[in-house]
């Protein structure tokens, strides 16, 4: 095994943050030579953490520009400055600016890391606010800096790239660190709120964040000074606003997301953080922290072999599904298809019919589904603008005569887009699905505005594989032997008009893609997690009495209260089963990054995972198998953390590797595209449901919606 010096990687701290929250189990396998050849670095800058006494001014009352602290985070003499501090009245507020009306508190920074973090953050903010055009401070005190991008400005919009500089301090180290993150693009309207309401009749309920005096603030939290000057308030663009303002919402579909994030952070560093002015405040080392070898591991099995029809293995989804067909065809041999469309789209409907019946296109739909598809012209539903669409469709669908032992599938040419800024159009888009599900009719929605003959032939394969899954088949399975574990996934989505997040769930019995049930409810329904878990365990134990463990893929970390209720549930079921929760960040990690300097797109190897801190990791799922060959895509890593109801269980490196592999496997089971998103379907599928279900009229998921993958 090469040492850090031999492979030219400088020695580093025990983890990416330089913080050891608990004893760390080494996950490094000396036999992994691939790891030894990866000299990875992070987006973190270290700087010395000197002994320094700093003065602060203390208030016993909340002040907007002050930072709140618990008295236990401060020197003991705080009790001499503020009377009556105890556990019932524990907070004081500090500022770095002298105030003759408040007592002065001197703090040795190296002894009080929370105060040091505040002080360094303030120093950075005061410097950076003179360097960038806009700044934002969120509710937990994170400082974000908005850098204008003139090349992306338009007639109506100013474009900004957003960066956050987070200070990380700890009493156990002699240094502090800066975590530098890129937070994406935002656009600020050049018209004031006053003009937007006058010219475009903009509904102020559409307004989220706004700019006032170079600060980004939530509109609903603006003070009296700002609200009395609407001509000096400039909204940050939201998608809903484009329904009334004549501009398109700028979507950024970046294939090389990790690579471009690296370039943006590097440019930000050179323009601001590497300058003499910044170095006087934060004397960092002028180099990014390296990742030590014992932080890295590589999945032992990174195979992408998938099993298609006839038990044929193929790592190319397109070739596998077209040449061998689905692993398991749809169970019903009788499938009838029809179309729903607007009368003005009659020409497009005829063209679409030619594609789905195989008269056009180089791949026939039946070639993918491996089932005969019977087109029923008499079932077609044509609507117009006379009355709302759902009012026209509902009686036709309700009165449709349907034969027994037959599956029905509708192709819906929608006049509306699912991303429409108009809430009414999105409601119609999804409620057509609901009407069809009520009769157990699965469907495929096609945007009539995007439907074109020249490129639709490429979509037939994607539609075909999704159709197989919607009708109860399995397009492909993993090539590995199934692991008999109960795996339950939860995903959430917040719909602005509903004002609350919705939670979707899915559970399956193994890693072969055998999904058993789906459901969706408001996320504040306390019974949701535990009720779904109880139902899944009971069903699983009927087939597998000796359950080894239950694995939950969740969109957030569970609280102690949740774990206590899970333990009570396990006791009630008389099942001595360990429960593991894998928290999966569904937005991918844009905070902690790990990059490979020798790869043209900065990608670590596929299957590489890096320990950030205790039980928290980054997992890289990408196309970098050879180390230095360009891939054409550079996805962000998945951020994972592990919890269990059994103490010490997550200290087993073999179990961690197995759970990582499980997440990796489920990222290969997206049955709606030959291009696989790098996110496990155990959280992606429930999240898709949670995005759609709040638009339904009913409060309960239709029966077909629980058993079929209708949302693909």
pLDDT at 705: 81
Which of 216 and 577 is assigned the larger pLDDT? 216
pLDDT at 6: 35
User: 47-61, 165-179, 277-291: which has the highest mean pLDDT?
Assistant: 277-291
Which of 36 and 178 is assigned the larger pLDDT? 178
Residue of 400, 412, 396 whose CA lies nearest to 356? 412
- Structural domains in the chain, CATH included, are 309-470 (3.40.50.2300), 481-588+637-707 (3.30.420.10)
Spatial distance between the Cα atoms of 117 and 136, rounded to a whole number of angstroms: 17
pLDDT per residue over 496-505, tens digit each?
655 566 666 7
pLDDT at 696: 87
Say yes or no to pLDDT of 159 above 80: yes
pLDDT per residue over 223-265, tens digit each?
999 999 999 999 999 988 988 998 888 877 778 899 999 999 9
Helices 527-543 & 560-572 angle (0-180, nearest 10): 40
91 Cβ contact list (under 8 Å, min separation 6): 68, 69, 70, 71
DSSP summary character for residue 592: S
pLDDT per residue over 369-401, tens digit each?
999 999 999 999 999 998 899 999 999 999 999
Poorest-confidence range of 130-139, 292-301, 410-419, 679-688?
679-688
Say yes or no to pLDDT of 2 above 60: no
User: 118-132, 234-248, 682-696: which has the highest mean pLDDT?
Assistant: 118-132
Say yes or no to pLDDT of 180 above 60: yes
Mean model confidence pLDDT for the chain: 86
Torsion, CA 360, CA 361, CA 367, CA 371, rounded to 10:
-40
pLDDT at 14: 32
Task: Please name the helix (run of DSSP H) or strand (run of DSSP E) that holds residue 444, with its range, or none.
Answer: strand 442-447
pLDDT at 572: 80
pLDDT at 541: 80
The dihedral built from the CA positions of residue 608, 611, 617 and 618, taken in this order, carries a sign that is negative
Say what the pTM is: 0.88
pLDDT per residue over 522-557, tens digit each?
766 656 677 778 888 888 888 777 778 888 888 877
Spatial distance between the Cα atoms of 206 and 203, rounded to a whole number of angstroms: 6
List of E strands, 473-627: 477-478, 486-495, 500-508, 515-522, 550-554, 579-584, 594-595, 608-613, 616-619
Say yes or no to pLDDT of 142 above 70: yes
Sheet holding 91-95, edge to edge: 67-70, 91-95, 53-59, 104-108
List of E strands, 103-233: 104-108, 134-137, 143-148, 157-168, 175-189, 209-212, 215-218
- DSSP for 271-289, written as a single string: IIITSHHHHHH----SSEE
Spatial distance between the Cα atoms of 442 and 392, rounded to a whole number of angstroms: 19
Rounded mean pLDDT, 309-320: 93
DSSP summary character for residue 695: G
pLDDT at 448: 92
């Amino acid at each position: 095994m090469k040492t850090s010096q031999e492979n030219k990687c400088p020695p580093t701290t025990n983890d990416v943050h330089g913080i050891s929250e608990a004893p760390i189990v080494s996950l490094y396998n000396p036999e992994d030579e691939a790891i030894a050849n990866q000299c990875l670095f992070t987006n973190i800058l270290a700087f010395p953490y000197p002994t320094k006494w700093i003065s602060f001014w203390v208030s016993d009352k909340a002040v907007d520009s002050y930072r709140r602290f618990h008295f236990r985070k401060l020197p003991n003499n705080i009790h001499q400055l503020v009377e009556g501090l105890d556990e019932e009245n524990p907070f004081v507020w500090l500022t770095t600016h002298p105030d003759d009306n408040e007592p002065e508190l001197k703090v040795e920074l190296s002894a009080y890391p929370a105060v040091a973090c505040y002080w360094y953050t303030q120093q950075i903010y005061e410097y950076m606010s003179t360097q960038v055009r806009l700044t934002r401070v969120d509710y937990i005190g994170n400082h974000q800096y908005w850098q204008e991008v003139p090349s992306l400005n338009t007639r109506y919009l100013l474009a900004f790239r957003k960066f956050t500089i987070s200070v990380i301090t700890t009493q156990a180290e002699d240094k502090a660190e800066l975590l530098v993150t890129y937070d994406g693009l935002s656009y600020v309207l050049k018209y004031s709120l006053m003009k937007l309401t006058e010219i475009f009749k903009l509904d102020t309920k559409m307004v989220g964040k706004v700019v006032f005096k170079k600060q980004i603030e939530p509109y609903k939290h603006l003070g009296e000074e700002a609200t009395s000057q609407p001509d000096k308030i400039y909204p940050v663009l939201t998608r809903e606003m484009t329904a009334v303002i004549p501009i398109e919402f700028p979507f950024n579909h970046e294939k090389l997301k990790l690579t471009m994030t690296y370039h943006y952070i590097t440019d930000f560093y050179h323009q601001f953080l590497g300058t003499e002015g910044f170095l006087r405040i934060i004397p960092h080392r002028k180099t990014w922290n390296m990742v030590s070898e014992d932080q890295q591991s590589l999945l032992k099995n990174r195979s992408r072999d998938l099993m298609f029809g006839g038990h044929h293995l193929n790592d190319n989804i397109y070739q596998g599904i077209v040449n061998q067909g689905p692993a398991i065809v749809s169970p019903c041999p009788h499938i009838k298809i029809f179309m729903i469309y607007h009368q003005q789209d009659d020409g497009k409907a005829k063209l679409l019919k030619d594609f789905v019946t195989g008269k056009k296109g180089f791949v026939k739909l039946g070639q993918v589904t491996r089932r005969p598809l019977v087109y029923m012209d008499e079932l077609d539903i044509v609507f117009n603008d006379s009355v709302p669409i759902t009012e026209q469709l509902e009686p036709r669908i309700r009165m449709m005569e349907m034969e027994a032992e037959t599956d029905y599938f509708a192709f819906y040419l929608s006049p509306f887009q699912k991303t429409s800024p108009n809430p009414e159009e999105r409601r119609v888009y999804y409620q057509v699905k609901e009407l069809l599900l009520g009769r157990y009719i699965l469907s495929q929605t096609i945007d009539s505005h995007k439907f074109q003959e020249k490129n639709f032939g490429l979509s037939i394969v994607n539609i075909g594989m999704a159709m197989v899954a919607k009708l109860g088949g399995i397009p492909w399975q993993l090539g590995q032997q199934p692991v008999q574990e109960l795996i339950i996934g939860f995903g959430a989505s917040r719909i602005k008009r509903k004002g609350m997040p919705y939670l979707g769930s899915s559970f399956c019995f193994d890693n072969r893609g055998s999904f058993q049930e789906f459901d969706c409810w408001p996320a504040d329904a306390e019974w949701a997690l535990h009720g779904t878990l109880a139902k899944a365990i009971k069903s699983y134990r009927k087939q597998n009495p000796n359950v080894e463990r239950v694995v939950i893929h969740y969109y957030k970390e569970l609280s102690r209260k949740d774990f206590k209720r899970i333990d009570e549930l396990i006791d009630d079921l008389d099942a001595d089963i360990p429960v593991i929760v894998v928290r999966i960040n569904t937005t991918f990690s844009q905070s902690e990054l790990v990059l490979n300097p020798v790869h043209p797109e900065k990608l670590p190897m596929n299957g590489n995972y890096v320990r950030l801190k205790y039980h928290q990791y980054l997992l890289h799922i990408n196309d970098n198998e050879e180390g230095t060959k360009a891939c054409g895509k550079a996805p962000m890593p998945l951020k994972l953390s592990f919890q269990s109801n059994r103490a010490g269980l997550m200290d087993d490196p073999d179990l961690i590797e197995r759970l990582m592999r499980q997440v990796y496997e489920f990222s290969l089971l997206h049955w709606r595209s030959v291009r696989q998103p790098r996110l496990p379907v155990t959280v992606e599928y429930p999240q898709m449901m949670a995005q759609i279900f709040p638009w339904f009229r009913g409060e309960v998921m239709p029966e077909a919606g629980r058993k079929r993958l209708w949302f693909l």
